[in-house]
Structure 1
């Protein structure tokens, strides 16, 4: 590994620079500062205005304290769209290096294909700009380390786009876990299922890899970096640690169209305390959608839906309890000559909604930019966000490696923050 960053070195650098260690949720809701003065406006440029970049641009335009003054994309369709969406008020570029020369910028937002993240981020940090980079951080562990090193070396903010860190529903779930409402955690099961080929129409053959970069090894790690990285971040958050090893299988078992990256992945991550994350993703069936199921000996959370299930719900009152007892006696009696076991049936208790979304609050995608702008104004690095972004990226990279090599991959300590 070139330039590995150990946990001790990272924390040492954080301390030496006097950086903030504020929980991202707390900083998210501290944006009621005076935005009327131009000195409080954060000027940003957006590099990469494709499907994700467009979403980010539209969210940023809702925020009073951030102004988009520059856009950049080297694909003509996206370039023209960016100009249109900013109503021709932002300076447009096709080369990110030219954008970085704009002296009015405070920060850049990077939403390019994955293989472009590292070198553009490092160029921006070395230019004295703060950076918001979409997840995953990078395609290799070496590039992830280089990005963190550049942020620390230049004393600049590097925030990674994990919007669940800014979702009140997720924070309520973490609070419940920390308060032992689930009891002792035993396992996390997470999945993300879709049913579409993940392809975009290509106007001419030479643009196939530029437009459909998510399908090719040179540019992406597919399901791991594009989808799994979200739930890997959540699992690390729940367990309060990064995993120590991973094993798994991946295949192209449906979309046999020349793609190089798996359309079906199944992995198990092992954590320091012996707990596991069981993860799978596919793009040929959407019946189960996506979820993060956190299981303890006293309860279960479905974090995407906001559901809470008690493992041992209170007994039903009166006659209902009597009926349940009778039914239990009938169906759990083993008949002579019958099976010597009773099928284990799922707990059918109804869920409780553990969080009610407050009307009028910004969405998590918008909230993460409030936090980014506030950290810029205060010149404080969000240590927690950087650790989450780094660890989830390393998890995705090592999971892909485990599937390619068909073996258990140990994740070394110097690749875990």
Structure 2
């Protein structure tokens, strides 16, 4: 994806939501922008730990922000450092992140290293008094995520995670509509993310295989669940404003039998307390259906990635099609196994309506990073953003564990953070 930033003003205008109170009700983390005009003369001095492909993608947004100064780069792979220096030529270079944390010119760090290294870097950063942006999933295990969240609470520092959909105008508008009852009672959420490719990156030397292709190996990654599901599972808790109670699933390597250790296809079912289910499926040997979240209520369906919504009651089919349907129903109406339920549905002719007037220019990444910068400069943590990242990580890790153990697992009570417990007692929601 090309790095394309949009202004905060353009972002809020595109939402088309009347009144800031409505916006903040669905997305309270947008309060990070409340004092943006008061920080024009200040800068966030940032270090990038792990300027690989993802780290440099984020840097492309950051260098467009006049409030950001990238002062340090840290990586053990020289090729990544050299590529990153083209974006931030004046940054100091480190090979050990501990040296970055000792650098008093660094206000905050951005962590885009292999998943297995996130926890220790983040905890050490908080201990060093640094603000943190950590790519998802935040931790390699549920226990690590819990430790990281508690360290954030005790540090008093800013903590953001790479959940860019929280700042995507399509998703913010979608949640406002869902919570307003536009689509009725939500009774199912289907999410999927399909690709067709081996997920490998070029390796200049065999001894660098696990360093560069860490996503394919169990010592460093949980594969599709932590790399992809982490985004989409967060949509379910955002829409329903509660957590699923249990999860079951299955994963396998069925196509890319090339020495990888993580699954190339996964399926999980998350079950909420009222029986509503959220599914996640991912296949990386067929991209036809791409990615989407299909959020279904009894009045309508919304597909935020596509940027469209559909109501159940649509205009009648064209006269000719309606006549054919009626004729076929009469022909087969005596068959007990069919009745009218088999008749061609008109849903596939429903083109739906656009959530916004046009497709946004970014997926929310630029606004997520801008909000982090504002939070660092003001020293104010926006409500719920750390918690959304925490639970997204926990849900994908619980799903992975359910696949590994081939069991139905419940969300552990010991990992339900106080934030959620407080909200649940007072409102029954997140």
TM-score if structure 2 supplies the norm length? 0.86
Superposed CA deviations along residues 138-196 of structure 1, whole A, max 9, x for unmatched, are 11011101111111111111111100000111111001101111111010001000000
Alpha-carbon distance in 2 for matches of 1:336, 1:160:
56
Work out whether residues 248 and 266 of structure 1, in 8 Å CA contact, stay in contact via their aligned partners in 2: yes
Superposed CA deviations along residues 58-91 of structure 1, whole A, max 9, x for unmatched, are 11011111111111111111011122221x2111
> 1:297/1:362 Cα in 2 relative to 1: closer, same or farther (>3 Å)?
closer
How far did residue 315 of structure 1 move?
4.5
Work out whether residues 49 and 97 of structure 2, in 8 Å CA contact, stay in contact via their aligned partners in 1: yes
Equivalent residues in 2 for 1:179-190, closer than 5 Å: 179-190=180-191
Residue in structure 1 matched with residue 371 of structure 2 by the alignment: 371
Q: Secondary structure at the match of 2:384?
A: helix
Alpha-carbon distance in 2 for matches of 1:110, 1:354:
33
Residue in structure 1 matched with residue 351 of structure 2 by the alignment: 350
**Which segments of structure 1 move beyond 4 Å, counting only runs of 4 or more?**
322-325, 336-339
Q: Secondary structure at the match of 1:100?
A: helix
Equivalent residues in 2 for 1:4-403, closer than 5 Å: 23-24=27-28, 26-27=30-31, 29-30=33-34, 32-37=36-41, 40-86=42-88, 88-315=89-316, 320=318, 323=320, 325-335=322-332, 340-341=337-338, 342-343=341-342, 345-346=344-345, 347-348=347-348, 349-357=350-358, 364-403=364-403
Alpha-carbon distance in 2 for matches of 1:379, 1:272:
37
Task: Let me know the Cα RMSD of the aligned residues.
Answer: 2.1
> 1:193/1:182 Cα in 2 relative to 1: closer, same or farther (>3 Å)?
same
How far did residue 202 of structure 1 move?
1.4
How far did residue 272 of structure 1 move?
2.4
How far did residue 374 of structure 1 move?
1.7
Alpha-carbon distance in 1 for matches of 2:344, 2:132:
50
- Which is worse superposed, 157-166 or 199-208? 199-208
Q: Secondary structure at the match of 1:33?
A: helix
Q: Secondary structure at the match of 1:170?
A: helix
Alpha-carbon distance in 1 for matches of 2:268, 2:244:
12
Q: Secondary structure at the match of 1:249?
A: strand
Q: Secondary structure at the match of 1:54?
A: helix
How far did residue 335 of structure 1 move?
3.4
- Which is worse superposed, 21-30 or 263-272? 21-30
Superposed CA deviations along residues 312-332 of structure 1, whole A, max 9, x for unmatched, are 12457xxx5x54543331122
- Can you give the 5+ residue segments of structure 2 that lack an aligned partner in the other structure? 1-23, 421-430
Work out whether residues 43 and 67 of structure 1, in 8 Å CA contact, stay in contact via their aligned partners in 2: yes
How far did residue 200 of structure 1 move?
1.1
User: How many aligned residue pairs are there?
Assistant: 390
How far did residue 32 of structure 1 move?
3.6
Work out whether residues 24 and 371 of structure 1, in 8 Å CA contact, stay in contact via their aligned partners in 2: no
How far did residue 337 of structure 1 move?
7.9
Work out whether residues 39 and 374 of structure 2, in 8 Å CA contact, stay in contact via their aligned partners in 1: no
Alpha-carbon distance in 2 for matches of 1:189, 1:358:
22
> 1:24/1:135 Cα in 2 relative to 1: closer, same or farther (>3 Å)?
farther
Alpha-carbon distance in 2 for matches of 1:21, 1:46:
32
- Can you give the 5+ residue segments of structure 1 that lack an aligned partner in the other structure? 1-19
Work out whether residues 307 and 352 of structure 1, in 8 Å CA contact, stay in contact via their aligned partners in 2: yes
How far did residue 53 of structure 1 move?
0.2
Q: Secondary structure at the match of 1:143?
A: helix
> 1:339/1:197 Cα in 2 relative to 1: closer, same or farther (>3 Å)?
farther
Alpha-carbon distance in 2 for matches of 1:36, 1:262:
46
How far did residue 404 of structure 1 move?
0.8
> 1:302/1:152 Cα in 2 relative to 1: closer, same or farther (>3 Å)?
same
Q: Secondary structure at the match of 1:58?
A: helix
TM-score if structure 1 supplies the norm length? 0.89
